[in-house]
């Protein structure tokens, strides 16, 4: 994560070549662009598109509901900041299917209004402003799942921008191909693949991973380990920490029942394995996998 902000800043170096390419395409009489679909973090594309008269549609990989919650919080931050962590949060104009507390909101979101000079907050402020002024919005979701929350999200955009739900976005043919090749015994399997192949009971393994952005402390990992041990279920756990190790005596308790891996794992293959019956994820795109 220490390279996240430098990487985002580096993307601004793409603005000039992007404008040159877009201008060339606009002047083309054969097939001028109807619009530009830009990732949320590439906020500079808005000014470029406006200068050349091309509509900019912003793409979000998050769900409609989570986007609407984040935007509503930013608008109502002053009122919410006075609440305690466990107080329920009332977001005007939104009908939530669950009770939301202040503790449920990401720490970065809670702190953003208090760090006007923080580089990350400054960058996010720029891309959020570009986001709100986009011509339209594309979300990695589908209306049958989140149609009740689309109007709430659209209310935070300028000039009547519309939201299109075009998910789930993944290469279907590649997914089918991956399912056929997953854990093929004729291939040289990884440690995790080999371990899963040895599990005899279908839908019994819990797959645990917190992604690449979650900063999980060693003490929190200890608690996860205790919970997995108490659950009694077999588990495959991907741990990114380079400082954490199993609590004393835990290795013997989970012997032959759990596998902890620190290297990269092929998540899509893991989730498609017949032995996996549950997952513990926090990222929207992982749910689609």
Using one digit for the tens of pLDDT, what is the confidence trace for 163-180? 999 877 766 565 555 544
118 in any annotated domain: yes
Least confident interval from 8-12, 159-163, 228-232, 276-280: 276-280
Mean pLDDT, residues 40-45 taken together:
96
CA distance 215 to 23: 41
Q: How confident is the model at residue 226 (pLDDT cuts 50, 70, 90)?
A: very high
Establish if 284 belongs to a structural domain. yes
Domain end (from 124, 149, 165): 165
Whether the Cβ atoms of residue 70 and residue 38 lie closer than 8 Å to each other: no
Query: Any idea which of 2-6, 37-41, 101-105, 223-227 has the lowest mean pLDDT?
Result: 2-6
pTM assigned to the model: 0.75
Q: For residues 106 and 183, which has the higher predicted lDDT (pLDDT)? A: 106
Query: CA 59, CA 193: separation in Å to the nearest integer?
Result: 34
CB 137 within 8 A of CB 60: yes
Q: Are residues 201 and 130 in the same domain?
A: no
Do 136 and 192 lie in one domain? The reply is no
Instruction: Looking at the structure, tell me whether residues 143 and 211 fall in a common domain.
Output: no
Q: How many domains does the chain have?
A: 2
pLDDT at 255 > cutoff 50: yes
Instruction: Give the model's confidence band at 144: pLDDT under 50 very low, under 70 low, under 90 confident, else very high.
Output: very high
The mean pLDDT value for 225-246 works out to 91
Q: What is the mean pLDDT of the chain?
A: 85
Same domain for 119 and 50?
A: yes
Confidence at residue 279, expressed as pLDDT on a 0 to 100 scale: 79
Q: Say if residue 257 is in the same domain as residue 233.
A: yes
From residue 60, give the alpha-carbon distance in Å to each of 13, 139, 147, 165, 244.
Answer: 21, 5, 16, 10, 33
The predicted-structure confidence for 6-20, as pLDDT tens digits, reads as follows 898 899 999 999 999
CATH code, domain with 226: 3.40.50.2000
- 205: containing domain: 173-288
pLDDT average, residue stretch 266-279: 86
Last residue of one domain, picked from the residues 165, 192, 218: 165
Domain for residue 39, yes or no?
A: no
Percent of the chain with pLDDT over 90: 49
Q: What pLDDT is stored for residue 185 in this prediction?
A: 46
Say whether pLDDT at 124 is over 70: yes
């Amino acid at each position: 994560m220490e390279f996240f902000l430098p990487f985002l800043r580096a993307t601004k170096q793409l603005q000039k070549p992007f404008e040159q390419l877009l201008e060339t395409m606009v002047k083309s009489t054969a097939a001028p662009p109807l619009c530009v679909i830009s990732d949320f973090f590439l906020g500079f594309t808005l000014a470029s598109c406006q200068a050349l008269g091309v509509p900019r549609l912003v793409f979000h990989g998050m769900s409609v509901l989570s986007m609407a919650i984040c935007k509503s919080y930013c608008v109502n931050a002053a009122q919410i900041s006075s609440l305690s962590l466990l107080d329920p949060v009332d977001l005007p104009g939104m009908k939530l299917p669950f009770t939301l507390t202040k503790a449920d909101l990401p720490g970065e979101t809670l702190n953003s209004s208090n760090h006007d000079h923080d580089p990350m907050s400054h960058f996010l402020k720029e891309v959020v402003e570009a986001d709100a002024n986009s011509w339209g919005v594309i979300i990695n979701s589908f209306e049958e799942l989140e149609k009740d929350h689309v109007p709430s999200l659209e209310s935070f955009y300028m000039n009547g921008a519309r939201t299109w739900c075009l998910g789930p976005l993944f290469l279907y043919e590649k997914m089918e191909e991956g399912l056929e090749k997953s854990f093929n015994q004729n291939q040289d399997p990884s440690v995790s693949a080999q371990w899963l192949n040895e599990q005899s009971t279908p839908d019994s393994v819990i797959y645990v991973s917190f992604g690449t952005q979650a900063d999980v402390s060693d003490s929190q990992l200890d608690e996860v380990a205790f919970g997995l041990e108490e659950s009694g279920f077999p588990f495959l756990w991907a741990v990114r920490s380079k400082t954490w190790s199993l609590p004393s005596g835990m290795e013997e308790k989970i012997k032959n029942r759990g596998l902890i891996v620190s290297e990269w794992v092929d998540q899509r293959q893991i989730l498609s394995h017949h032995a996996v019956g549950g997952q513990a994820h926090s990222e929207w795109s992982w749910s689609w996998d």
